Structure 1
Amino acid sequence: MAHFQKWISTFWSFCISYINFINQNVNPRAGFVPLHRNSEYLTGRVFFSMAPAKVDSSKKGDPKAQALKTAKAVKSGPTFKKKAKKIRTSVTFHRPKTLKKDRNPKYPRISAPPRNKLDHYQILKFPLTTESAMKKIEDNNTLVFIVDLRADKKKIKDAVKKMYDIQAKKVNTLIRPDGTKKAYVRLTPDYDALDVANKIGII
């Protein structure tokens, strides 16, 4: 019986000391805060989250007042930059000189206008009279010319029209192994390549 009473008193004193320990180390907002810095590894850290306070909708401010408050916060914030004031170093104002006159030279800087070096005489160097070229004239209604390297298809087409007064349907070009450019000028059905070749003097 004495042993049981001793056990009861020991247990009761342990309960009282534990309750005192809890009361000393519990923060109602943060929860349980252990005394020892490493005691969270032994006992575990306990947190008690409180429900957020309800905001009464009737207490909300005027929208205009809220807008003014927000605008004031934006203006006073770090992102708002005021325009720097221009520093004036003179006491007089001057109208800017905006008059722009057209050029009126005393004499021409270039004595003669530049000549077009790639004219139709330069573009069409000479017609080809090889066997394959003759076959093209007879079978495909196509004339074959050696042309300038800088000439493109449109320039070749225009040069043929200007030189021989004939209309080309399409132009194909290639660079030969000797470095010259060859042009195949296909004529429209209105013109006969054989007649044009006779007129030019190829045949």
Structure 2
Amino acid sequence: MAPSDNKTGKNKANAAAKAVAKGASLHKSRKVRTSATFHRPKTLQLSRSPKYPRVSVNHGPALDFNKIVLYPLNTESAMKKIEENNTLVFIVNVKSNKRQIKQALKKLYDVDTVKINTLIRPDGTKKAFARLTPDVDALDIAATKLAIV
């Protein structure tokens, strides 16, 4: 009986070896799709490594103090503003804003302003009215630093 058991044991071993070599045929689980729309897979995004720089020079600020304040006005109405309202009148760059005008006047003429009023004239230039602090005389500034009186 022993030899016949051995044959069946060999047969079982051969069958097991074949099954291992072939692999078990199991049911593979499918991925659950939650949308009916097909989206292409995300591809590899490589970082840029340019052959040459696209911008050659760093540009500085477009408006410096000398480009902001163009020139003071010395018309009769401007002189009246200087005498009565302690206000200096300038023609300034159209693209400059009130803060830039205030800083430019501080830098160029060393005067502190209470407020700046601006308007764009019909000829396309911008006029700025710089109201000076009460401790500074606009007539004195106009005579000494601007030389318009």
TM-score (norm 1): 0.47
Report what 1:187 is aligned to. Answer: 132
User: 2:99 and 2:64 mapped to 1: Cα distance?
Assistant: 13
Query: Deviation digits for residues 117-164 of structure 1, max 9, x if unmatched?
Result: 211111111100001101111111100001111111111111111111
Amino acid at match of 1:183: A
User: 1:113 and 1:125 mapped to 2: Cα distance?
Assistant: 25
Report what 1:171 is aligned to. Answer: 116
User: 1:107 and 1:202 mapped to 2: Cα distance?
Assistant: 53
Tell me by how many angstroms 1:110 deviates: 3.3
Alignment of 1:8-47 (within 5 A): none
Specify whether residues 110 and 191 from structure 1 end up closer, same or farther in structure 2 by C-alpha distance, changes over 3 A only. same
Report what 1:134 is aligned to. Answer: 79
Tell me by how many angstroms 1:107 deviates: 6.8
1:201 and 2:147 are equivalent in the alignment = yes
Give the unaligned 5+ runs of structure 2.
1-30, 34-43
Paired residue secondary structure (1:173): strand
Report what 1:85 is aligned to. Answer: 32
Report what 1:56 is aligned to. Answer: none
Seq. identity, %: 58
User: 1:120 and 1:130 mapped to 2: Cα distance?
Assistant: 23
How many residues are treated as equivalent by the alignment?
110
User: 2:147 and 2:51 mapped to 1: Cα distance?
Assistant: 52
User: 1:194 and 1:202 mapped to 2: Cα distance?
Assistant: 9
Specify whether residues 188 and 104 from structure 1 end up closer, same or farther in structure 2 by C-alpha distance, changes over 3 A only. farther
User: 2:131 and 2:32 mapped to 1: Cα distance?
Assistant: 73
**What's the RMSD between the two structures over aligned residues?**
2.7
Q: 4+ residue stretches of structure 1 with deviation over 2 A?
A: 103-112
User: 1:154 and 1:108 mapped to 2: Cα distance?
Assistant: 34
Tell me by how many angstroms 1:115 deviates: 2.6
User: 1:185 and 1:143 mapped to 2: Cα distance?
Assistant: 5
Bigger RCO of structures 1 and 2 (CA < 8 A, at least 6 apart): 2
Paired residue secondary structure (2:119): strand
User: 2:77 and 2:84 mapped to 1: Cα distance?
Assistant: 10
Paired residue secondary structure (1:169): strand
Report what 1:160 is aligned to. Answer: 105
Amino acid at match of 2:101: I
Report what 2:67 is aligned to. Answer: 122
Query: Deviation digits for residues 4-59 of structure 1, max 9, x if unmatched?
Result: xxxxxxxxxxxxxxxxxxxxxxxxxxxxxxxxxxxxxxxxxxxxxxxxxxxxxxxx
Tell me by how many angstroms 1:85 deviates: 3.3
